[in-house]
Structure 1
Amino acid sequence: MSDDRRHVQEFFAARAADWDSRFPDDGPAYAAAVAELGLRPGDRVLDAGCGTGRALPPLRTAVGPSGLVVGVDLTPAMLATAVRAGRDREGRLLLADVSALPLRSASLDAVFAAGLVSHLPHPARNLRELARVVRPGGRLALFHPIGRAALAARNGRQITPDDLRAESVLRPLLAGSGWRMTSYVDRDDRFLSLAVRENPGQPAASPGHR
């Protein structure tokens, strides 16, 4: 295991048991963000870096009983907490790294990722892997229940210019990884960037043709 992966595992393993109790009021924010994905009954969706599975219930509601919900996380302790909370009933949980997903190419309609981007050791490569498993025209939601400034204040730090979630950084990062950003919101009570999977066989649209 790489040092980056080990650091992420150790960080979340130490916090898994009380993760949900630390953030007890995030449920409506997760549900609202899932609604922005525009999922339909029967769709196939991945919760990338699913943690304790807080997005799994609204994802299941959105795709219905005929849809597929898969939650992937690198940290066994987080998945164990999801199981204890009964969220494994809402979707299939897999212990896996987003850098090498055990999923077929173009097999999904959408990816939901809460709090993931800042923990990616190789953001461009990892976002390309998410793009690989999504069909052309499929969707990606990068979400956090609070915005960048509020999160930085919570952690006692300042936002830096190279913050991966800054629109000026994230938009070209997505574009170089097979995605086209379609919306961006960063306010105290929500961070949400939506993107569409580009058709790999088509040239990317120029800035004047978004």
Structure 2
Amino acid sequence: MDDERTHVRDFFTERAAGWDSRFPGDGPAYASAVGLLGLRPGDAVLDAGCGTGRALPFLREAVGPSGTVLGADLTPAMLREAVLAGRDRYAALLLADVARVPLRDAALDAVFGAGLVSHLAHPEAGLRELARTVRPGGRLALFHPIGRAALAARHGRALTADDLRAEPNIRPLLARSGWRLDSYTDKDDRFLALARRER
């Protein structure tokens, strides 16, 4: 595992036990974002970088009992918290690096990624790997329960032009990775970039 992935794993390992209690009111934002992903009963969806699995109940509700929900995360401690919270009832959990997803080509209808893109060691390669796993025309949601400015303020820093999630940066990044950005929302209460897998 390279240094950047080790850093990400260590960062989340230290915070896993108290992660959900830090953000207790995020459920409605997750539900809303999943609703906008356009999932249908029977679909197959991956929560990439699922963490403690906060999106998994909403993804399961969207695809129904005939659908497939997978949650993949690099950090064993986060997956343990997902199990302790009972979220393994909604999805199969995988200890996996998003840069090397153990799925065949075009196996999925959609990918959901909460807080994902800024934690990818190599964003373009990671997004390209996710594109590989999604059928042509399938969807990607890059989500955060608060917008870029609110998140920067939470961390005591200012937004900069090189922020990966800024629309002028994320649109070409997605295009180079096999996705077309369909919609972009960056408000105080939500960041959501919805993209479609190019045919």
Could you state the TM-score of these two structures normalised by the residue count of structure 1? 0.94
Q: Hey, what does 1:202 align to over in structure 2?
A: none
Q: Hey, what does 2:63 align to over in structure 1?
A: 63
Q: CA RMSD in A?
A: 0.4
Structure 1 stretches of 4+ with a deviation exceeding 4 A read: none
Matched residue type, 2:27: G
Work out the CA distance in 2 between the residues paired with 1:74 and 1:149. Answer: 27
Q: Which range moved further: 154-163 or 126-135?
A: 154-163
Q: Would you say how many aligned residue pairs link Structure 1 and Structure 2? A: 199
Q: Hey, what does 1:173 align to over in structure 2?
A: 173
Give runs of aligned pairs for residues 121-136 of structure 1, distance below 5 A.
Answer: 121-136=121-136
How far residue 158 of structure 1 moved from its aligned partner, in angstroms, is 1.2
Q: Percent identity?
A: 75
SS at match of 2:93: strand
1:28-59 per-position Cα deviation (integer Å, ceiling 9, x unaligned): 10000000001000000000000000000000
Work out the CA distance in 1 between the residues paired with 2:51 and 2:140. Answer: 17
Q: List runs of 5+ in structure 1 lacking aligned partners.
A: 200-210
Could you state the TM-score of these two structures normalised by the residue count of structure 2? 0.99
SS at match of 2:17: coil
1:158-184 per-position Cα deviation (integer Å, ceiling 9, x unaligned): 111111100000000000100000000
Matched residue type, 1:47: D
SS at match of 2:138: strand
1:150-207 per-position Cα deviation (integer Å, ceiling 9, x unaligned): 00000011111111100000000000100000000001000000000001xxxxxxxx
Q: Hey, what does 1:148 align to over in structure 2?
A: 148
Matched residue type, 1:158: A
Work out the CA distance in 2 between the residues paired with 1:5 and 1:141. Answer: 22
Work out the CA distance in 2 between the residues paired with 1:41 and 1:57. Answer: 14
| Bigger-Rg structure (1/2) | 1
Give runs of aligned pairs for residues 27-42 of structure 1, distance below 5 A.
Answer: 27-42=27-42
Q: Hey, what does 1:74 align to over in structure 2?
A: 74
Larger helix share, 1 or 2: 2
How far residue 125 of structure 1 moved from its aligned partner, in angstroms, is 0.6
